[in-house]
Amino acid sequence: MITVQRKYKVLKASSVRELSDIVNDSIQKEYKDTEGFIFRSSARWQCLGAPFIENEFWYQALVFIQEEED
């Protein structure tokens, strides 16, 4: 199985609670895909590091990791 980073994003919220809700929504969304007859893949968002605050806004980095098998 090969792990591939597909994309990333930085989430921004005005409170820790709001940030937590947005992060949980992203992490819980998972899709499964079948592309032709070659491989099947599934993926999900994962947090990168800890949330941080800057200029009264909270931020969290997320990366979209996809595992593929032949």
User: What pLDDT, on a 0 to 100 scale, did the predictor assign at position 60?
Assistant: 94
Counting the structural domains of the chain, the total is 1
- Residue 45's pLDDT is 80
Report d(CA 63, CA 12) in Å as an integer: 15
The answer, as to whether pTM is greater than 0.95, is no
Structural domain of residue 32, as residue ranges? 2-69
| pLDDT over 80 (residue 36) | no
Taking residues 16-41, what's their average pLDDT?
68
pLDDT digits (tens, 9 = 90+) for 4-18: 767 889 999 999 999
pLDDT: which is higher, 69 or 59: 59
